[in-house]
Amino acid sequence: MYTQATEKRVLVEQTSRIMGTNIQVVVSVLPTEMPQAEVAIASCLGWLREADRRLTRFAAESELAALNRAADQWFSASALLFAVVREAVEAARASAGLFDPTLLTQLEALGYDRDFALLPRRAVDSDQNATPVTGAGGGWRGIRLDPKRRRIRLPAGVRLDLGGIAKGWAADMALKHFFGGFAHVLVNVGGDLRLRGERHPGDLWAIGVGDARPADAASPSPEGSVVALGRGGLATSGATHTWWYQAGQRRHHLLDPRTGCPARLWLPPDAATPAAATPDPHLVASATALAPTAARAEVAAKVALLRGYPAALQAVEVAWKRRNQQVPAAHTDAGVALLLILGTGEVHVSANFHEYLTSTGAGGDLWL
């Protein structure tokens, strides 16, 4: 843990490797508040480790693994697991199934059956015996939740993967439960952010939204964008770095629940990519979503990838115009702004992006 002086406050910051990703927590406080900030950060990181132990799908002893084994019967869940499963089901319902937490069987059939760091990144290293993909999603519709007894019942044959929402949800919960007494906080869980206040006096938190494509991509690369925010959540999603080989074919983790197969996204060409299969540069390479919460931003970014360009921008623009009408608040398109980067390197933002920054974002700004 270290501190860095500012004009009137100091930054108390700590990073750690949890939930298979890098965690960063930063609190901007007066020097006299440093001890309280250090205690809050330590408590937050301890809770995140507990969340990781319960929610990982890569450990047979995790609570999520136990829930998946108990499909077709009631499972008594911890408050933590119940809360995130409920959030995931609500997100699936609000997105009409474009976000689907019940695609674990399909992910494993495509080879994502172990920690990503262990997956083959070269065609010659991949398993040549691929398991057929078992079809579309939709299993979330049969999940039953019993809030009174805090029980969950999965349909027979349905298993959950909470990786598409757990990081954003964890960032939201960390901010809420551990930093209530601090006005200036940023919680970054693997790029899914929840924040409020300022980093420096008079300066909002500045978040770099770089090009998700590798530096040696065939097309020109933008230098990156910077978003200044004083409130809310931000998440970026894409598959330019999270792909692997299975049976000589490249796979990635962002599945389309309508087919159960990897969504059609821009991926960087590599040595094993045939010239005839050069990726369409007009496909979306990455989607960055801004929303009131990190969980909502994480879901919105993934839904944007499935919709593609320009449909993703149009959906949030229409919803922004209707945001004062009576629509469900959680995980809808309303109140969301998007920044998309295409394989060409072009950056496109939704028409409501700057209005979002000045309202929901507490007077933020964007530099392209």
Q: What is the pLDDT of residue 268?
A: 84
**Is the distance from CB of 239 to CB of 266 less than 8 angstroms?**
no
Give, in order, the Cα–Cα distances in Å from 356 to each of 43, 122, 289, 327: 32, 42, 11, 18
Residues 15, 68 within the same domain: no
Cis peptide before 310 (omega within 30 of 0): yes
Residues 169, 147 within the same domain: no
CA 278 and chain centroid, separation: 27
Q: What is the pLDDT of residue 221?
A: 43
**CA angle (190, 191, 196) in 5-degree steps:** 115
Task: Tell me whether residue 197 is in a domain.
Answer: no
Tokens representing 365 are 């700004």
Residues 51, 75 within the same domain: no
Residues 116, 229 within the same domain: no
Q: pLDDT per position in the chain (368 positions), as tens?
A: 655 544 589 999 999 999 989 999 999 999 999 999 999 999 999 999 999 999 999 999 999 999 999 999 999 999 999 999 999 999 999 999 999 999 999 988 888 777 767 666 666 565 656 666 667 899 999 999 999 999 999 999 999 999 999 999 999 999 999 999 999 999 999 999 999 999 999 999 999 986 554 544 444 344 578 999 999 999 999 988 888 788 778 888 899 999 998 899 998 887 666 554 567 888 999 999 999 999 999 999 999 999 999 999 999 999 998 876 665 555 678 899 999 999 999 999 999 999 999 999 999 899 98
Task: Tell me whether residue 190 is in a domain.
Answer: no
Residues 149, 177 within the same domain: no
Task: Tell me whether residue 159 is in a domain.
Answer: no
> What single-letter amino acid sits at 156?
A
Query: What is the C-alpha to C-alpha distance for residues 324 and 112, in angstroms, rounded to an integer?
Result: 41
Query: What is the C-alpha to C-alpha distance for residues 355 and 368, in angstroms, rounded to an integer?
Result: 16
**Count of domains observed in the chain:** 3
Strand partners, 323: none
Tokens representing 253 are 């983790």
Task: Tell me whether residue 345 is in a domain.
Answer: yes
What's the whole-model pTM score?
0.90
Residues 292, 322 within the same domain: yes
Residues 68, 53 within the same domain: no
Which sign does the torsion angle of CA 24, 25, 30, 32 carry? Answer: negative
Pairing relationship of beta strands 144-146 and 337-342 according to DSSP bridges? unpaired
Closest C-alpha among 233, 243, 268, 232 to residue 342: 268
Query: What is the C-alpha to C-alpha distance for residues 208 and 196, in angstroms, rounded to an integer?
Result: 16
Closest C-alpha among 99, 108, 110 to residue 137: 99
CATH number of the domain that residue 267 is part of: 3.10.520.10
Range of the domain at 88: 63-153
Task: Tell me whether residue 192 is in a domain.
Answer: no
Q: What is the pLDDT of residue 334?
A: 84
Residues 244, 105 within the same domain: no
Task: Tell me whether residue 93 is in a domain.
Answer: yes
Residues 100, 177 within the same domain: no
Strand partners, 307: none
Task: Tell me whether residue 188 is in a domain.
Answer: no
Residues 363, 215 within the same domain: yes
Residues 102, 43 within the same domain: no
Residues 140, 53 within the same domain: no
Query: What is the C-alpha to C-alpha distance for residues 97 and 368, in angstroms, rounded to an integer?
Result: 33
In the 3-class helix/strand/coil scheme, how is the chain assigned residue by residue? Answer: CEEEECCCCEEEEEEEEECCEEEEEEEEECHHHHHHHHHHHHHHHHHHHHHHHHHCCCCCCCHHHHHHHCCCCEEECCHHHHHHHHHHHHHHHHCCCCCCCCCHHHHHHCCCCCCHHHCCCCHHHCCCCCCCCCCCCCHHHHCEEECCCCEEECCCCCCCCCCCCHHHHHHHHHHHHHCCCCCCEEEEECCEEEEECEEECCEEEEEEECCCCCCCCCCCCCCCEEEEECEEEEEEEECCCCEEEECCEEEECCEECCCCEECCCCCCCCCCCCHHHCCCCCCEEEEEEEECCHHHHHHHHHHHHHHCCCHHHHHHHHHHHCCCCCCCCCCCCCCCEEEEEECCCCEEECCCHHHHHHCCCCCCEEEC
Task: Tell me whether residue 274 is in a domain.
Answer: yes
